[in-house]
A = this chain, B = another copy of it.
Amino acid sequence: MDAAEFRRRGKEMVDLVADYIENIEKRQVYPDVQPGYLRALIPEEAPEEPEMYEDLVRDIERVIMPGVTHWHSPYFYAYFPTANSFPAMLADMLSGAIGCIGFSWAASPACTELETVMLDWLGKMLRLPEEFLAGTEGKGGGVIQGTASEATLVALLAARSRMIKLIQADFPDRPEADIVSKLVAYSSEQAHSSVERAGLIGGVRMRKIPTDDKFAVRGEALRRVLKEDKAAGLIPFYFCATLGTTPSCAFDCIAELGPICNSERIWMHIDAAYAGSAFICPEFRPLLNGVEFADSFNFNPHKWLLVNFDCSTMWVKSRSDIIGAFKMDPLYLKHEHQESGLVTDYRHWQIPLGRRFRSLKMWFVFRLYGVRGLQAYIRKHVKLAKEFESYVRSDQRFEISADVVLGLVCFRLKGSNELNETLLKKINAARRIHLVPCQLAGEFVLRFAVCARTTESRHVQEAWGHVSQLASEALKEVPH
Which positions in A face B, CB cutoff 8 Å?
1-7, 9-11, 13-18, 20-22, 31, 33-39, 42, 44-51, 53, 55-56, 60, 63-72, 79, 82-90, 92-94, 96-101, 105-111, 113-114, 116-117, 120-122, 124-125, 136, 146-150, 153, 157, 160, 175, 177-178, 180-181, 192-194, 196-197, 200-203, 246-247, 302, 308-310, 325-326, 328-333, 336-337, 340, 342-343, 351-354, 356, 360, 363-364, 366-373, 428, 436-439, 447
- CB pairs A–B below 8 angstroms (7 shown): A16-B97, A45-B124, A65-B110, A84-B99, A181-B181, A309-B354, A351-B351
Contact A309 B99 (CB under 8 A): yes
Indicate which residue in B4, B13, B90 contacts A94 across the interface (CB closer than 8 Å): B13
**Across-interface contacts of A68 in B (CB, < 8 A):** 98, 100, 108-111
Given the known interface contacts A79-B101, A82-B99, A356-B309, the answer about A326 and B113 at a Cβ–Cβ threshold of 8 Å is no
In the complex the two chains form, is B38's CB within 8 Å of A114's CB? yes
Which of chain B's residues have a CB closer than 8 A to the CB of A147? 352-354
CB-based contact B1/A21 at 8 Å:
no
Contact (Cβ within 8 A) A71 B89: no
Contact between chains at B114 and A64 (CB < 8 Å): yes
Q: Main SS of chain A's interface residues?
A: helix
Instruction: Give, as a whole number of angstroms, the nearest-CB distance from A320 to chain B.
Output: 16
Residue of B nearest to A35 (CB): B342
Residue of B nearest to A11 (CB): B11
Other CB < 8 Å A-B pairs besides A50-B370, A69-B108, 20 of them? Answer: A10-B89, A10-B93, A20-B98, A33-B110, A38-B113, A38-B117, A46-B122, A46-B367, A47-B370, A48-B371, A49-B370, A49-B372, A51-B370, A55-B367, A67-B110, A67-B111, A160-B203, A181-B181, A201-B326, A331-B437
A93 touching B14 in the complex, CB below 8 Å, given contacts A337-B35, A343-B35: yes
Contact across chains for B331 and A97 when beta carbons are under 8 A apart: no
